[in-house]
Structure 1
Amino acid sequence: MSGNDWKARLGTVYSTDPDFEYTTAAAPEQETLAPARQRLRVALDRRNRGGKQVTVVADFVGSEEDLKELCRFLKQKCGVGGSAKEGEIIIQGDFRDKIVGILTDAGYKARKI
């Protein structure tokens, strides 16, 4: 029933037909580009984090599952925590140089900004 959220149906006209079944259009999952075609940006961020530094890897093009796999790989190589959501990977601490090196060795086009 989690897909039956009433907020997603605001502004919808309902049918009185007893056989009518409401369906929502699912967004197609984006295809993951090859590592050589990815253009990742690696930056340091301190905003809204209580003064803590985090390294942000942005502009990943692909599925959420592949993003989480890349995040797991980077966290393991750096030995720190982090998360992946909304096309960004957040790694705790200032690891810009190390992450750019890891990504270029893995075949990604990464640059530090």
Structure 2
Amino acid sequence: MDLQDQLKNLFPDHTPSKENIEEVNQPNYWLQDSPILCKYEKRKGKPVTILDGYTGADADFKKLTKDLKSLLSVGGSYKNDIIIIQGDYRDKIMAFLKENGFTVKRVGG
């Protein structure tokens, strides 16, 4: 018995709406006209990927950072309008951002 069957047993009169399901599948970020700069640095001998130039609100930074960290299964943070991801994941990050409608510019090698 899977989760859907258990929920139908608990709530027989409930019918799930398709609107709620579509909203969960598509994360909405605030898109901007200027490109996000994706660059690679070494800090204290460790590689990091830095995303600079995103001008969204703090909630947008938090959501985008969380989605990138969970996509790549790595650590990271955001502060001072910069998103820092541990490791060199420029290609994967740029592909993810392009899929979600951002324009991305690669800086450096």
Does the pair score TM above 0.5? yes
Q: Is the 8 A contact 2:41 2:49 kept in 1?
A: yes
Q: Within 1, Cα distance between the matches of 2:76 and 2:106?
A: 18
- Structure-2 change in CA distance of 1:50 and 1:91 (3 Å): same
Q: Is the 8 A contact 2:30 2:56 kept in 1?
A: no
Q: How many residues align?
A: 79
Structure showing greater Rg: 1
Return 5+ residue gaps in structure 2 as ranges: 1-28
Q: Going by fraction, where is helix more abundant, 1 or 2?
A: 2
1:89 to 2:89 alignment? no
Q: TM-score, normalised by structure 2?
A: 0.67
Question: Cα offset for 1:79?
Answer: 1.0
* Moved >2 Å (runs of 4+): none
Q: TM-score, normalised by structure 1?
A: 0.65
Q: Is the 8 A contact 1:36 1:107 kept in 2?
A: no
Q: Identity of paired residues, percent? A: 35
- Structure-2 change in CA distance of 1:34 and 1:68 (3 Å): closer
1:43 to 2:75 alignment? no
1:73 to 2:64 alignment? no
1:103 aligned partner: 97
- Structure-2 change in CA distance of 1:70 and 1:45 (3 Å): same
